[in-house]
Structure 1
Amino acid sequence: MAKMGSRKHLKRYKSPAHWPIHPKEDKWTVKPSAGPHAIEESLPLLIVVRDILKVADNSREAKIIINNGDILVDGRARKDYKYPVGFMDVIELPKSEKVYRVLPDHKGRLILHPISEKNREFKLCRVTDKTIIKGGKTQLNLHDGRNCIVEKQYSTGDVVVVEIPEQKVTDHIKFESGTVGLIIGGKHIGELGKVKQINITQSSKPNTVEVETDEGIFLTLADYVFVLGKEEPVISLPGGK
């Protein structure tokens, strides 16, 4: 029985630090299913419903709400209470007409930022890899685990605008100097800045980016920069940024 429990649950003290649960309240918490986001970069849907949105008082109530299809992720009802929710996902509660986008705060915690009806129609996905397939088309591998087949050319690091739930790529933001980017890792996580320069290395060392904010210029890894627009972010951000 202990082995079965370990597959379905996770010891609280082993849960990621950004999860809004107390490690000493109970021995176990819900373990995310395998899905679009890694455990370190996601929240189980049950925790989102119970601990963040607080539309349920306990796990049982949260499971009922989720099983009824009352929670949409990227425009689709997700009935698995262990479903992993992560960066840039759009969470919708149709009954209360509330919509949120998952974003990081300055402490690296995932938060739910309220967004408008217009903002709920799309999400931003970064190209992590690409492959040329039969017919000369390109398959994009995106940060949230989805794959898209496109005819246009995109580069790794570019961000595509994806209609949801149709999953159709409608636009893209090129990863280049002059764009506005959100820092999603490192000590500057959650900060918004302008990409001043991208430093491409010719070795095994990672590429870096010089980012300018109101406080000055800092250097960070290219993988930590998620571009949001050419001059202004195309999505709303916490704090009115």
Structure 2
Amino acid sequence: MMAHVKRIVAPKSWSIGRKASKFVTATRPGPHNAGALPIAVWMRDHQGLARNMKEIKQILRDRQVVVNGKVCTDPHIGLGVFDIISFPRLDKHYIMLLDKTGR
């Protein structure tokens, strides 16, 4: 499987800009299906915690992100519904939920 997909064919549930750039990070196989949102996309495009993939990898390498009680070091891990994402150093916690339109 490739480490990226084209933004134009990414699932609509990701709610990312389709014309911002050509490619976006893909998910690796894991506990959620292929439609899961990669943590790198969530951190960069949804939360604005990083500007690029280099910053995301540095944050994850420093073991600053905890997903469902486990330290996350992989930028391609998929986030599914009701996953809990925590940043212990920042004392911030998020829960992945869907809105009425499934995004």
TM over 0.5, shorter chain: yes
What's the counterpart of residue 10 of structure 1? 5
Match of 2:52 among 58, 65, 70: 58
Runs of 4 or more consecutive aligned structure 1 residues displaced over 4 Å after TM superposition: none
Identity of aligned residues (%): 32
Q: Is the 8 A contact 1:11 1:28 kept in 2?
A: yes
Letter in 1 for 2:53: S
Structure with more strand by fraction: 1
What's the counterpart of residue 105 of structure 1? 99
* Cα displacement (A) at 1:49: 1.2
Asked which structure has the greater RCO (Cα within 8 Å, sep 6+), the reply is: 2
Q: Distance in 2 between matches of 1:48 and 1:22?
A: 12
Match of 1:94 among 59, 66, 88: 88
What's the counterpart of residue 39 of structure 1? 34
Structure with more helix by fraction: 2
What's the counterpart of residue 65 of structure 2? 71
How many pairs does the alignment contain? 103
Match of 1:28 among 19, 23, 27: 23
- Report the RMSD for the aligned CA atoms in angstroms: 1.2
Q: Distance in 1 between matches of 2:65 and 2:5?
A: 23
User: Deviations 1:154-211 (Å, cap 9, x if unpaired)?
Assistant: xxxxxxxxxxxxxxxxxxxxxxxxxxxxxxxxxxxxxxxxxxxxxxxxxxxxxxxxxx
List gaps (5 residues or longer) in structure 2: none
List gaps (5 residues or longer) in structure 1: 1-5, 110-241
What is the SS of the residue equivalent to 1:32?
Answer: coil
What's the counterpart of residue 83 of structure 1? 77
